[in-house]
Amino acid sequence: MVEMQLVNKIIVFFLIASLFVAGFFILKPIILSIFIGILLAYILQPLYAPIKRRIKSPNISVSLFLIIIVIVIAVPLWFFLPTFIREIFDSYLYIQKIDIASAVGKIVSFFLSDETARVFSTQINVAIAKFFSFSLASSGAGLSNFGDILIQVSVVFFTLYFGLRDSHKFGAYFAELSPFSKSTGEKFSKEFRNITNSIVFGQVATGVIQGLCLGLALWLLGIPKFIFLTVIAIIVSIIPIIGAWLIWLPTSLILIVSGSVSKGIILFFYGLLFVSTIDNILRPFFISRQSNINIFIAILGTIGGLYVFGFIGVIIGPLILSYLIIIIEFYRQGKLNELFRD
């Protein structure tokens, strides 16, 4: 009898483990899309709240809100995406025409040997070619993988829909499932809010502000392809360490070597004294104000998260490191037993 009970327990355990493994593999292809949907539900909750108060039906209010979101995203894409792709081609042709690598090589030759300057010029040409090849390949891959992208976007909106509609129910449900004590769960929940806010405001908002400020200067100076350069500036400004200098520095050099010396000098000092200052002031301010996480840890988490999870890693990376630090702190204080429920 005892052996039979043991066999039954093993079978039940195996079945449960198999279900969890099968569930993991079912969700694995869309797990990041689900996380993005949950994250967007949290971020957009304040914007959804006024509609929720005015329209009592949850289904109608969420549907209306998502329709507004789709319009806000789709309209700019419809108008700017063709222009953006065209400007990738035009920018590459423009850079090839002025031969930026040779021009920079001549400048470098004043400080380095001729051989080193030639190698430097060659590497610049290779880097430019790789950048534009990657941009064009990404655009082509997006079109060829349109079906998969459509599925992933559908999962994001599906998760966002229920995340907005049933946020309180989900919160209560996962709180009951959590093995952690109530105080630990509250710490994790608070850290999630703080990290998300700090990354959204500290990383994303600062990057967008930097990119738009640089784009405004490019437009006022009459720089060709300013839409393309502004979009790239926003993307690289969101990523720590890289920053908007990757756009304004080469662009100012291109202007100088192509004959537009005054524009190049204005853009250089504008980027150095104003655009870079935005990053140095706003990013640490938002991160330190919204969260207790050390800026060094936030940057490491962001960079590592980008490598592992892609663009969404700018939030997942710091969040994981922050949770790890919370557990280490419990261990350091000898309070590991307080992590879990009694």
- Residue 143 sits at the vertex; the CA angle it makes with 142 and 146, to the nearest 5 degrees, is 80
pLDDT for 127: 65
Q: How far apart are CA 204 and CA 194, in angstroms?
A: 14
pLDDT for 93: 66
Report helix, strand or coil for 7: helix
Q: How far apart are CA 94 and CA 333, in angstroms?
A: 61
Q: How far apart are CA 47 and CA 66, in angstroms?
A: 11
pLDDT for 42: 81
Measured from the Cβ of residue 290, the count of other Cβ atoms closer than 10 Å reads: 18
- Contact call for residues 120 and 112 (beta carbons, < 8 A): yes
Amino acid at site 256: I
pLDDT for 196: 73
Report helix, strand or coil for 106: helix
Q: How far apart are CA 277 and CA 273, in angstroms?
A: 6
Q: How far apart are CA 95 and CA 258, in angstroms?
A: 10
Report helix, strand or coil for 130: helix
- Contact call for residues 185 and 175 (beta carbons, < 8 A): yes
For the chain, 342 residues long, the average pLDDT of each consecutive 10-residue run is 68 85 87 84 84 84 88 78 70 62 57 61 65 60 68 88 83 71 71 72 80 89 80 80 78 77 86 81 68 72 80 77 78 69 60
- Contact call for residues 161 and 59 (beta carbons, < 8 A): no
pLDDT for 340: 64
Q: How far apart are CA 271 and CA 251, in angstroms?
A: 10
Report helix, strand or coil for 323: helix
- 327's tokens: 């557990």
pLDDT for 282: 75
pLDDT for 189: 73
pLDDT for 248: 82
Three-state SS sequence of 209-221: HHHHHHHHHHHHC
pLDDT for 265: 87
Which one, of 96, 41, 107, 89, lies nearest residue 69 by Cα? 41
Three-state SS sequence of 134-174: HHHHHHHHHHHCHHHHHHHHHHHHHHHHHHHHCHHHHHHHH
pLDDT for 134: 63
| Residue 246: HSE in the Cβ half-sphere, 13 Å Cα cutoff | 21
pLDDT for 36: 84
Predicted model pTM: 0.65
pLDDT for 287: 66
Q: How far apart are CA 42 and CA 196, in angstroms?
A: 9
